Amino acid sequence: MSTQPVDPAARPGRLGVGVVGAGRVGAVLGSALRAAGHPVVAVSAVSQESRDRADALLPGVPVVDVPEVVRRAELVLLAVPDDALAPLVAGLAEVGAWQAGQLVVHTSGRFGTDVLTPARTAGVIPLALHPAMTFTGTSLDLARLEGCPFAVTAPAPVLPIGQALVVEVGGEPVVLAEEARPLYHAALAHGANHLVVLVAQAAQALAAAGVDDPGRMLRPLLEAALDTALRAESAGGAGAITALTGPVRRGDAGTVEQHLEQLTALGGRTGAVDVVGGYRALARAATARSLAAGLVDAAAAQRLLDVLAGAPDGRSQTGDGGPQED
């Protein structure tokens, strides 16, 4: 006997969603909630870019001011910059906009639910749901939500509501304590944002070396390195550092010294002094972590650290020892 697919809008517990901030995150999550059967009743959009995004991802949804979004919604999705979140919540509380029983969800990675305290005094249900992915603000993001981890922070009695909302948009809920949010956010920003800077630095050096398409040159190397490191981290043991290859892993202090010379010269020619500074800092970290994981011995690590500190010839005062095998 065949069964008809269930219309998501016919499921029980559907909520009228108001989206505050039609940025890259808000418009996409609003669209995902809509696909799960929650009608989006209003959206706020200030810039023309945000209005265009709302038109594309939330067609037919009225664009109104923020207090009106809150007035119409049973679930308010706050997708605004971190520094704007607390003043926004407090300002809406001052004008009596919050309604008892409303679900108020913010998408900031930095904050838990404490930032929603002014709204909680009005009787709202506070939820902090942060998707651990970057957004383009297009429909491409909707497919990428499938399996995406979301950090979920909420008071224990309403935690299942946050988890259920994440599952409905295709994500994987990961419960995170209030006090852990700042460190969690710093870790993600360091891993993702600074990876972009690293790619930019490497690409600049390749372009200076005469490579026409640095992105194409880097892609297979970086994709393989990232995939191997993430698999090693998930496998446990010493973690991602075991995926390290290259001169630090081999104990090749001479190669590292030459790299520093070349990158210093690049900075002198182009003003990109951040490249050699970044290389030096990361090579020090690679050396320390490799030593701790037993990937290099103490003598090799000291030679590397001497070179990175600018010691003559990178010679260690603690003993000899040849390069390690890769």
Mean pLDDT of 200-209: 98
Mean pLDDT taken over the chain: 93
Question: What percent of the chain is predicted at pLDDT more than 90?
Answer: 90
Total-model pTM:
0.87
- 4 within a domain of the structure (yes/no): no
Give pLDDT tens digits for 89-139: 999 999 999 999 999 999 999 999 999 999 999 999 999 999 999 999 999
Q: What is the mean pLDDT of residues 224-236?
A: 96
Question: In terms of domains, do 24 and 165 share one?
Answer: yes
> Among positive and negative, which fits the CA dihedral 127, 132, 135, 139?
negative
Give per-residue burial for 58-74: e unless 16+ CB within 10 Å, then b.
beebebbebeebbbebb
Q: Which of 134, 150, 176 is the last residue of a domain?
A: 176
Residue 165 and residue 45 share a domain: yes
The reported pLDDT for the residue numbered 311 is 57
pLDDT at 130: 98
In a domain, 5, yes or no: no
pLDDT, position 13: 73
Q: How far apart are CA 104 and CA 83, in angstroms?
A: 17
Tell me how many degrees the CA angle 155-180-280 measures, rounded to the nearest 5. 160
Q: How many domains does the chain have?
A: 2
Phi, psi angle pair for 14, to nearest 5°: -75, 140
Q: Is 110 part of any domain?
A: yes
Q: Which domain holds residue 97?
A: 15-176
Return the pLDDT at 323. Answer: 45
Taking only the tens place, the pLDDT of each residue in 233-279 is 999 899 999 999 999 999 999 999 999 999 999 999 999 999 999 99
| Residue 322: inside a domain | no
Domain boundary among 156, 176, 196: 176
Using a 10 angstrom Cβ sphere, with 0-12 exposed, 13-18 middle and 19 or more buried, the burial of residue 191 is: exposed
Q: Considering 176, 209, 240, which residue would you say is the last residue of a domain? A: 176
Q: Are residues 268 and 197 in the same domain?
A: yes
Establish if 324 belongs to a structural domain: no
pLDDT at 282: 98
Q: Tell me the CATH number at 84.
A: 3.40.50.720
How many Cα atoms occupy the beta-carbon half-sphere of 16 within 13 Å?
Answer: 13
- pLDDT over threshold 80, residue 2: no
Task: Calculate Rg over the CA atoms of the chain.
Answer: 25
Shared-domain flag, residues 194 and 170:
no
| pLDDT tens-digit map of 281-305 | 999 999 999 999 999 999 999 999 9
Q: So what's the pLDDT on residue 257?
A: 97
Pair 126, 223 in one domain: no
Least confident stretch, 9-13, 85-89, 183-187: 9-13
pLDDT tens-place string over residues 3-48: 555 567 667 679 999 999 999 999 999 999 999 999 999 999 999 9
Give strand pairing partners of 172.
Answer: 149
Residue 231 placed within a domain: yes
